[in-house]
Amino acid sequence: MILITDGGSTKCDWIALDSNGKQAADKIRTKGLNPAIISEKKLHKTIRKNKELMAIADKVTHIYFYGAGCGTEKPRLLLKSIIESLFKNAEVEVREDTYAAVRACIDSNNEAAIVCILGTGSNCSYFDGQDLHQRISSLGFILMDDASGNYFGKQLIRDYYFEKMPDTIRVAFAHKYNLDADFIKYNLYKQTNPSAYLADHAEFMFLNKDSEYIKTMITKGIRLFTENMILQFKKELDEGVPVHFAGSIAFFAKEEIKQVAKEYGFKVGNFVRRPIDGLVDYHIKNI
């Protein structure tokens, strides 16, 4: 049995395939497993306490884990070690989530493309058809992650407290979320996954997209991401390489992304909301 995992900071989706490429069980979902921001103890506990995963653990022979926070060696090896300790019969491969986005987005294995992730976090890489290239090292959600869920969540909370929201939006936002200052600070500074906490607030944007305030916020974030991340590959853009997008923020901000693409003159490719679906197709072809 093969397990394929799309691991984000907020949640992880696990798909089990049998030796014939058929789905062997219902999709399993756990909390996020970002080893760059979550402790070893909590990573281990999150996987171990999932009954569905543990029920098939002995049958799993290969695990392909694509995850946020797995782009540098130390956290990647930490997570790999934890997974190996729980799936003792499995050969485990852990890669950064950008590889999942590439395999889910591109139309053929050797296609050159710029691939962006806009989910809880954000990232942008160039895939030359064989290898992945990143020219800017990510410093995480506090300093980077433009146009991500946590970026937009932070903007919304800031605008609420600085009283920059239109009155109707402000009332709706306060109705949906607990905006008590102590509650916010507790989740940001005392809990283990502040990025996911902030990203949870981004859902509000897509429930209120008819607001000019929200449209402006989304477009501003996409422009920032374009200038800081996509335009680092200007040479490739000038050659006509398409820019693909993966993640829920990208999927729901399609129109704003297309608008910004026209402004900056780059070619938009595919939009994939859940990379796990494309990953399953990729691994079925390569079983």
Asked whether residue 153 is assigned to any structural domain, the reply reads no
Instruction: Assess if residue 260 is contained within a domain.
Output: no
Lowest mean pLDDT among 39-48, 108-117, 165-174: 108-117
Cβ(177)–Cβ(201) below 8 Å: yes
Count of residues making up the chain: 287
Look at residue 178 and tell me if it is in a domain: no
What value does the mean pLDDT take over residues 66-88? 93
The predicted structure's pLDDT at residue 84: 97
Percent of the chain with pLDDT over 90: 74
Mean pLDDT for the chain overall: 92
| Whether pLDDT at 136 is above 90 | no
Of the candidate ranges 24-28, 89-93, 112-116, the one whose mean pLDDT is the lowest: 24-28
pLDDT of residue 287: 62
Please give the residue range of the domain that contains residue 56: 2-101+276-285
In a domain? residue 59: yes
Q: Taking residues 117-129, report their average pLDDT.
A: 92
Average pLDDT over residues 118-136: 90
Could you give phi then psi for residue 196, rounded to 5 degrees? Answer: -65, -35
SS3 115: strand
34, part of any domain: yes
Inside any domain, residue 39: yes
Residue 276 confidence (pLDDT): 81
Bridge-based pairing state of the strands 28-31 and 11-17: antiparallel
> 222-266 pLDDT, tens per residue?
999 999 999 999 999 999 999 999 999 999 999 999 999 999 999
Looking at residue 282, its pLDDT comes to 80
pLDDT bucket at 58, cuts 50 / 70 / 90: very high
* Cβ pair 123, 247 in contact under 8 A: no
**Domain at 29, CATH number:** 3.30.420.40
Domain contains 23: yes
Task: Give the total number of structural domains in the chain.
Answer: 1
Task: Give CA separation, 156 vs 3, 78, 205, 242, 284, in Å.
Answer: 37, 34, 9, 31, 41
Picking from 55, 1, 7, 57, the residue whose alpha carbon sits closest to that of residue 32 is 7
Note whether residue 207 is domain-resident: no
